[in-house]
Chain A
Amino acid sequence: MSDQSEQLLRRLETLEEMPTIPVVLAPLLRYLEQPLDTLEVQQVVDLISQDKSLAAQCLHLANSPLYGRWHNVDNVRSAVVALGLQRMRDIAVSCSVLKLIPKGKAKLDPMVFWEHSLGCALVSRQFARRIGFADPGKAYLAGLLHDIGIVAELSVLPVEFQEAVEFARTRGVPLHEAETRTLGFTHCDVGKIVAERWHLSPDLVAVLSCHHDPQSAQQNRDLVALVSLSDLLCRMCGLGHGYIEERQVNFLEEPGFTLLLDECPSLKGFDWARFTFELEAYMEEVHRLVSVLYGGPQ
């Protein structure tokens, strides 16, 4: 890494503008690590209800078919009861994370960024279920947070990051490749700093720091690989970073595929075409959800 890149990374590590972990997120993440049967409904309801705008946003997600709910739930308690604790935690974590980008400061459209993050969370969860991955809930969370390094870049290095985005956009190349060229490091390097500062669990640290190079992960390579493939699929299906990556991808040749195959043998006969077509429905609903969350009730 060049001196300049090191200087930039140091700025990220030391500056106070670094995003702080949302108030509700830390306890929610702690809960997530606990076995489901030790959780009490009231605890989760209280936690979410502390923040009225968070609670209202959670209800929007709770009423979306993507979270499995078809009938109107109108308060946090009935949402928790109807959807179950696992889903409600996913929703609450999503909403608290979605509040992260300071409005007006971002050069990258926050809606596009959160569409990608929410899309990747949902796709990771669905993909996990399909291939018999052990923990779909963890896959959801990892998908949601995988690009959180970008939030830090937007906050601390908005000008430099914008150059990387422009580089990627004009050449139609993946964002991390553009970052390597223009910044000398990627949102994975930055994600690692954020993850450690937020005291995220080691498996999430691995995802945030290695999802563009799953083989470099020291642990939880299967989770890293799963998110890496879901991320790529989202980007190829129009749920990317707001521009088109002009390239061809063969998922069977992706490093993440080989890694994940060891863990989930059913991946061998996976119907990539069908899974890709299914995402068409996700796209529509993710666009709608994020626009409701950001634009308020329409």
Chain B
Amino acid sequence: MISAPSIPGRTSAGLDGPPSPQLIRIRDLVYQVAGIFQPDNKLRLLEDRCLKRMQAVGATGLHDYYECLTTKPIRQVELVNLLNEITIGETCFFRNQPQLDALRNVVLPRILEARTNMALRHLRVWSAGCSTGEEPYTLSMMMMEEQSGRLAGWTFEIVATDLNERSVAHAKQGTYGTYSTRNLTPYFRQKYFTPSGDNLTVNTEVKTHVGINRLNLLDDVRMAFLKGFDIIMCCNVLIYFDVLSKRRVIQHFYNNLLPHGYLFLGHSESLYGVSEDFRLVHLPSATAYVKSEKRQVVPLGGL
């Protein structure tokens, strides 16, 4: 008889036993409704987040909480609360490094190639739902770095928008605490930030590439005016929209992007079942969406 091996990584899958079917139901519901997926290794985390919300709403168990998310009158509010828990801590500099690497090493060369015949050597990037500004400033720093490489001789601008007025003000201010700056390497800290007390403030040269404004993505008139983008980043924003609103925004994005344009969503966020306007492409350890070909889209917003 062979003795049992020790099982040191027993909890590495995130659970001590098989995941509860109720938890899987909640995971699937969140994916179906919001489009954000929690893989098996994140189920423990999802369970913790559900437990926190269950306490807040007084749910007696996961089954009861599932009811809160689906049939009880609070369901819409509660889904937003759970999504807030799921995406908590997502706002920081260099939040998704594989995505940034893929953008820089695979997407950027493809965009530059597609633009070979366009006279203007100027890139336009839109951070749609930029929150407090970490994402657009990260992009600005990354592209400034590339200006001595692939983007030599190019200029660029980053349009950053968010619905929340306080977030927009914070983004314009550009001062961040230790939590937001936790992923910054010493190189980026020194080159692009100025310390102010315990905080770091983004240098003016980084800011000059970034224009920050308040915008509601469902504002058809203003959305119709945003044109000619090479890249749109829209992370953890569409998850809060119902399917019709998602479709509206996606159709705008389709019109806002140049033919070779790329749409990036948040980590584990998907457009499956939402829109045929875009098709999924795989990049190294990341995914993105490119425009589907031969598709006529009617402009929205009465223009």
Interface residues of A (CB under 8 A from B): 49, 52, 55-56, 59-60, 63-66, 70-76, 172, 233, 236-238, 244-252, 271-274, 276-281, 284-285, 288, 292, 297-298
| Chain B window 1-45, contacts with chain A (Cβ cutoff 8 Å), 1 for yes, 0 for no | 111111111101111011000000000000100000101111000
Asked if B283 is at the interface of the complex by the 8 Å CB criterion, the answer is yes
| B6 and A273 within 8 A (CB) | no
| B282 and A276 within 8 A (CB) | yes
| B12 and A273 within 8 A (CB) | no
| A249 and B2 within 8 A (CB) | no
A-B contact pairs, 5 of them (CB 8 A): A60-B5, A236-B283, A247-B283, A271-B273, A273-B37
Which positions 265-287 of chain B face chain A at CB distance < 8 Å?
A: 268, 270-273, 279-285, 287
Q: With A and B bound together, what is the CA distance between A261 and B55 in angstroms?
A: 47
A66 partner residues in chain B, CB cutoff 8 A: 13
| A280 and B272 within 8 A (CB) | no
| B110 and A248 within 8 A (CB) | yes
| A281 and B281 within 8 A (CB) | no
Closest 9 CB pairs of A and B: A74-B4, A273-B270, A281-B40, A281-B41, A281-B39, A277-B37, A280-B39, A55-B2, A249-B282
The size class of the interface chain B forms with chain A is: 35 or more
| B13 and A246 within 8 A (CB) | no
Q: With A and B bound together, what is the CA distance between A277 and B283 in angstroms?
A: 13
Which of B5, B10, B40, B106 lies in contact with A246, CB distance below 8 A? B106
Residue among A52, A73, A76, A244 with the most chain B CB within 10 A?
A244
Interface of A is mostly: helix
Asked if B87 is at the interface of the complex by the 8 Å CB criterion, the answer is no
Which of A56, A75, A250 lies in contact with B281, CB distance below 8 A? A250
Known contacts A52-B2, A56-B5, A236 near B37 by CB under 8 Å:
no
Asked if B216 is at the interface of the complex by the 8 Å CB criterion, the answer is no
B8 partner residues in chain A, CB cutoff 8 A: 292, 297-298
B246 to chain A, nearest CB (A): 14
Known contacts A246-B284, A248-B281, A277-B37, A284 near B4 by CB under 8 Å:
no
Known contacts A236-B285, A248-B283, A277-B268, A284 near B12 by CB under 8 Å:
yes
B282 partner residues in chain A, CB cutoff 8 A: 233, 236-237, 248-251, 272, 276
| A59 and B4 within 8 A (CB) | yes
